[in-house]
Amino acid sequence: MRVAFLMATEGIEQVELTEPWQAVARAGGDPVLISLEPGRVQAFDHLDKADTFPVDLTVDEAAAEDFDALVLPGGVANPDALRLNTAAVALVRGFFAQGKPVAAICHAPWTLVEADVLRGRTLTSWPSLRTDITNAGGDWVDEPVHVCSAAPGTLVTSRKPDDLPDFCAALLAELKG
C-alpha cells in the first residue's frame, strides 16, 4: 500500500507526521512525503523548530490515482498553507473523488474545508476548527478518533497528538480493510 503524506514546506507538527508514517511503514506500507516544493520540510514541536524531512514528490508531480490513501498531518501553519495552494487542494479532492481513504489530524481538516469535501460527513479535529467544519457542511464531534464511511471513501480524523495511538490504529484498519 502506497500512502501519500501531504504537507506544506513548514509548520507540520512533527509527531503528527512521524507517528502515522512509522505505523504505515511497520505495517508494510510505502509512505511518500508530498509537499509544495522540492527539498525538505520543516517540522515543529508545537512552536519550536524540530527536524526536517526529505520531500519525495511535489504536489505538481503527485496524482491521487498513484496512491492507496492520503494522510494530512496537522500543525497550525501546515494546513493553512496547504489550503492556499490550488494544486494541493486539487490533490485532496482527487482522493475523495476516487473514494480513497483520507486521514487528517488536529488542524489538518482546514485543508478539507477548502477542498469542499465535508458536506454530510462527521469528523473531529482540534476544537477551534468546529465552526469552520460546521460551516463547510460537516458534523463536528469531540472524540479521540472518528471514522466516517460516508461515500465516497472513508475519512479518519483525530483531535490532537495525544490521540495518535487511536488515530494510527484506525488508519491502519482502513488500509487493511
Instruction: List, by residue number, the catalytic residues.
Output: 106-107
Helices (H), the chain: 14-26, 77-82, 86-97, 109-115, 130-135, 164-176
Residue 97 contacts residue 70 (beta carbons within 8 Å):
no
Q: Residue with C-alpha cell 480513497?
A: 100
Distance, in Å, from the CA atom of 59 to the CA atom of 91, rounded to the nearest integer, reads 7
What's the rounded Cα separation, in Å, for the pair 172 and 59? 24
Decide the pairing of beta strands 145-148 and 155-158. antiparallel
Question: DSSP for 7-45?
Answer: E-SEEEEHHHHHHHHHHHHHTT-EEEEEESSSSEEEEEE
| Pairing assessment for the beta strands 57-58 and 48-54 based on DSSP bridges | unpaired
